[in-house]
Amino acid sequence: MSSAATLIRKARADAAMTQAQLGARAGLSQSAIARLERGSANPTIATLAHVVAATGHRLILAAEPRRASFDEGQLRERIAMTPAQRLATFTASSGNLRRLTRRARRIGD
């Protein structure tokens, strides 16, 4: 995710424009563009889209569903387990990991 300042700066650089050129095209002063690029100003979405459009780019906003950083189904299964079942699962996984580590070391030698 980029900040508004970064988006404007990158769009202007990609368009090979100076701050003064972008300001003239967007109807803003060079100092206003500088404030936007420094992050000193907090532009509205409309202003951001207008300034980015003046570079020949378009602003695209998108919302995407957050992806879990873990398997939610597996988590539900673990929560439903009794403590004894969790311990048995951990013990089996630990044994599998030890065997895998030994094999990897043999292959690496």
CA pair distance 92, 96, nearest whole angstrom: 6
The CATH number covering residue 16 comes to: 1.10.260.40
> What does the alpha-carbon distance between residue 72 and residue 84 come to, in Å, rounded to a whole number?
21
Q: What is the DSSP letter of 65?
A: P
pLDDT per residue as tens digits for the range 56-109: 999 998 888 877 777 888 889 989 999 999 999 999 999 999 999 999 999 877
Count of domains forming the chain? 2
> Are 34 and 19 spatial neighbours (Cβ–Cβ below 8 Å)?
yes
Considering the domain boundaries, does residue 64 fall inside one?
A: no
Mean pLDDT of the chain: 92
CA angle 60, 61, 62 (to 5 degrees): 120
Domain identity same for 48 and 76 = no
Provide the domain limits for residue 85.
Answer: 72-108
Name the residue among 47, 41, 36 with its Cα closest to residue 6.
Answer: 36
In a domain, 81, yes or no: yes
Higher pLDDT, residue 62 or 18: 18
